[in-house]
Amino acid sequence: METRPHRIIKRKKTRKIKLGNLFIGGDSPISVQSMTNTLTTDYKGTIKQIKDLEDAGADIVRVSCPDKDSTEALKKITKEISLPIVADIHFHYKRAIESAISGAKCLRINPGNIGSKERVKEVIKAAKDYNCAIRIGVNAGSLEKNILEKYKEPCPEALIESATHNIKLLEDNDFFNFKISVKSSDVFLAVKAYEGLSNLYNYPLHLGITEAGGLFTGSIKSSIGIGRLLMQGIGDTIRVSLSADPVEEIKAGFEILSALGIRSRGVQIISCPSCARQAFPVIDTVKILERKLSHIKKPMTLSVIGCVVNGPGEASQTDIGLTGGGEGNNLLYLSGIPHNKVASKDIIDKVVTLVENKAKEINN
C-alpha cells in the first residue's frame, strides 16, 4: 500500500559516511543495529549471534572489545561475517587500533576518554589506514570529570559539550568519517541533547535511549525517545537498547520505523484489542500469525479485526485484511477489495497462504 501523505517525514540531510559497504546519513536508509552479549572471545558463539541478528534484519552489529584476546577473536569473527562490525572500545587506545587491524568497520569510542591527544591521533591514523569509521559515543553515565564538575549532573548541555569537544578532536586531525550519539537513560535528557546537537552539526546521528530496561519497558521508552526524534527528521541509525535477546532489539527497531512509515520489514499486523463483538478469538489468532509469519522478510501490512465496526475500513488500507463476521462469514480482503469468506477454523491457514503468495509476488 502507498504511504499516506500525512505520514511523510522530512528528514534532515546529514553528511554521508561509510561503514564497509554500508552508507550512513545523507539519503541513505535509516539503519537498525544491535550489540552482541556473548563473550567476544567465544568467537563461534559471537558469530552465531551476529548471523541471527542479520537474519532478523540488522544492518550493523556492535561487538565489545575490552581486551587483547577480544580483538584477536575479532579477526576470526570479521572473516565470517558480511555485516559491518563496530568495535566497542572504552579507555584503552590500543584496543581501538587492534580492532581496526582485525577488520572492524567502525570504532565506537569517546575520544576524550582515550587519553592524550597523541593517543587519539594514533587511533585516527589506524581508522584512516584501515578505512574505519568512528562513532563518538557520549553517554550520560560516563561523562568526562571536568564536564560533570562544571554542570554538577548530566544534562543536555553537558552531553552536547562533551560531543563538541570530541568532534573538534577528530576535525583537528582531518577526520570526518564519523557519527555521534548522546545517550541517556532519561528520555527527556536524551531527546533534548539530540535536538541541540542536530541544530549545531550536520554529522550523522546514532539514536538510542541507553539502558532503557527490559523488553516491555525498554521498548516503550525507546519508542517515545527515538520516535520523537525521528518524527522531527533527526537520526540516521538507531539502536533499541534492551535487557533482552539482541534479536528483540532489531524487531523493536523495525517496529518503530514501520510505525512512522520510514522503513518496513516483514508483516506489520494491525489488530484490534478484541471485545464482546469479536467473531473469532483475535488475541490467539494474532499470536499464532505472528509466529507463523515471522519468516516473511518482505514488507506488507495485514489487518486482523474481530468485527465489522472498523474491519472494512482497516482492510481498505492494508495489503491483506480480515474482518470478523461470524462463523463462515468472516471476510478476507486483498488490497482493500473483498476476496472471499472464511470459516473461523480456517482463518490461520487461509491468511498464511495469502501472505506467503503475496510475498512471492513481491519477490517476482
> Do 220 and 250 have their domain in common?
yes
The string of pLDDT tens digits covering residues 291-316 is 999 999 999 999 999 999 999 999 99
Domain CATH code at residue 323: 3.30.413.10
Mean pLDDT of 207-234: 96
pLDDT category, 3, cuts 50, 70, 90? very low
> Do 154 and 231 have their domain in common?
yes
Domain C-terminal end among 216, 237, 259? 259
Full residue range of the structural domain in which residue 180 is found = 11-259
Q: Has residue 323 got a pLDDT over 60?
A: yes
Domain C-terminal end among 224, 243, 259? 259
Which uninterrupted H or E stretch holds 182? strand 178-183
> Dihedral of CA 24/26/31/34: which sign?
positive
Cα-flanking dihedrals φ and ψ of residue 189, to 5°?
-60, -50
pLDDT category, 4, cuts 50, 70, 90? low
The model's pTM is 0.92
Domain CATH code at residue 122: 3.20.20.20
> Do 253 and 294 have their domain in common?
no
The string of pLDDT tens digits covering residues 337-355 is 999 999 999 999 999 999 9
The string of pLDDT tens digits covering residues 62-108 is 999 999 999 999 999 999 999 999 999 987 899 999 999 999 999 99
Please tell me the total count of domains within the chain: 2
Give, as one character, the DSSP assignment of residue 236: S
Residue 2 forms part of a structural domain: no
The string of pLDDT tens digits covering residues 13-56 is 999 999 999 999 999 999 999 999 999 999 999 999 999 999 99
Tell me how far CA of residue 86 lies from CA of 20, 36, 214, 327, in angstroms. Answer: 10, 10, 23, 53
